[in-house]
Amino acid sequence: MGNTIGTVLNPMFPIKMLLKTYSICILMVDVVWVVVNTNYAILQALYGFFNPPPLKSVKLETALIIGSGRGVGRQIAIQLAELGAIVLCVDKNVANNEETVNMIKSKGGKTYIYECDITKRENVTTMSEQVKRDVGFVSMLFYCCGIPSPRSLMTQPPQDIHETLDLTLTSYFWLIEHFMPEMKARNHGHIVALTSVAGLSYIKDQMPLSVAQFAVQGLAESLMEDLRINKTDGVYVTLTHIYPFIVDDSSNLRLRISSYFGTITPANAAKSILDSVRRNYPEASVPKHLLYLGHTLRILPRKATVLIRDLLDTGVDFA
């Protein structure tokens, strides 16, 4: 009885109760705000699925393509030039890169060529400084290294973890360090990261690759958060997942569910990637429907995801 009277007579008691009530009210408002905006975001995503945003122009944008000597990187460079961008082609294979540049020039595109082994930091620094002297501001960065071909996955031995991380991830940090500060300062730019499906699911005997590709996803998501927190809404990041057995320029692959997977050319893959970039999508995949499959797998129980992955395993065999 005495304790109850003491509590009631305590002059701080009403203030504490008021503060507690106020905190609860604020929490309820925050919860309602999150629920309402979450539902609004879902509706926006559904609307955007059926009515995608318009394609932005890349005319006169300066696009740096790392890995432009072959495959998807080459096709991205060619198609960007056709859209009016100034294309900077970077590859350590000089012959392949020159072929890409000649293709662009033959169609009237404007391009520069750079030889660089990006696994060496000093090479990246030298190349970046030369690029800035040649063209000034780089507004788009496409990182196409580290995406394996289907044949290499089947025939090459597992890569060394240091070599794989340097090619796929570490060099990406160095490039961002050189080009992103000016994008932030101008509040204009676009960074594009390409990963293989190894970043969504482990590939047999390719653990270093899978680890590196998972890390690229983390890097892209960290960049998005950094830009959001710093309110740099004019700089975009697009993370694109490429299923390696989908992109092929030959017909000697046999797939378990060919009607589901099929194959597309590097040119069509590049077109799909650029479509997502020009709509400022934060995440995309080639083919597009696999993005939703990947999201679904993340929320299912582990046993269920393993069963689905086994079912959809390409079962690749070379003819």
26 vs 289 pLDDT, higher one: 26
Given pLDDT bands bounded at 50, 70 and 90, which one contains residue 267? confident
287 vs 108 pLDDT, higher one: 108
- 219-225 own/partner pairs: CB under 8 Å, 24+ apart: 219/169, 219/172, 219/173, 219/193, 220/191, 220/193, 223/176, 223/180, 223/191, 224/282
Indicate the range of 6-10, 120-124, 163-167, 272-276 predicted with least confidence.
Answer: 6-10
> Does 8 fall in a domain?
no
> Which CATH number characterizes residue 170's domain?
3.40.50.720
> Does 262 fall in a domain?
yes
111/294 Cα distance (integer angstroms): 36
**What range does the domain containing 129 cover?**
56-318
Contact 81, 106 (CB under 8 A): no
> Does 44 fall in a domain?
no
Rounded mean pLDDT, 188-212: 73
Contacts of 202 (CB under 8 A, 6+ apart): 210
> Does 17 fall in a domain?
no
272/83 Cα distance (integer angstroms): 14
> Does 290 fall in a domain?
yes
Residue 278: how many CA atoms within 13 Å on its side-chain side?
18
Q: Structurally, how many domains does the chain consist of?
A: 1
183/236 Cα distance (integer angstroms): 10
> Does 109 fall in a domain?
yes
Q: Please compute Rg for the chain using Cα positions.
A: 24
pLDDT digits over 51-101, tens only?
888 999 999 999 999 999 888 899 999 999 999 999 999 999 999 999 999
> Does 183 fall in a domain?
yes
Contact 111, 85 (CB under 8 A): no
pLDDT digits over 204-217, tens only?
556 677 777 788 88
Contacts of 184 (CB under 8 A, 6+ apart): 227, 230, 232, 235
pLDDT digits over 279-291, tens only?
999 988 887 777 7
Given pLDDT bands bounded at 50, 70 and 90, which one contains residue 246? low
Rounded mean pLDDT, 176-189: 95
70/99 Cα distance (integer angstroms): 9
> Does 161 fall in a domain?
yes
126/121 Cα distance (integer angstroms): 9
Rounded mean pLDDT, 223-239: 93
306/211 Cα distance (integer angstroms): 18
> How far lies 217's CA from each of 28, 117, 177, 212, 234, in Å?
34, 23, 17, 9, 21
β-strand 235-242 against 283-286: which pairing, if any? Answer: parallel
Predicted local confidence at residue 202, as pLDDT:
53
Indicate whether 49 pLDDT > 80.
Answer: no
90/17 Cα distance (integer angstroms): 65
SS3 316: coil
Predicted local confidence at residue 8, as pLDDT:
52
Mean pLDDT of the chain: 81
As to burial, measured by CB atoms within 10 angstroms (0-12 exposed, 13-18 middle, 19+ buried), residue 194 is: buried
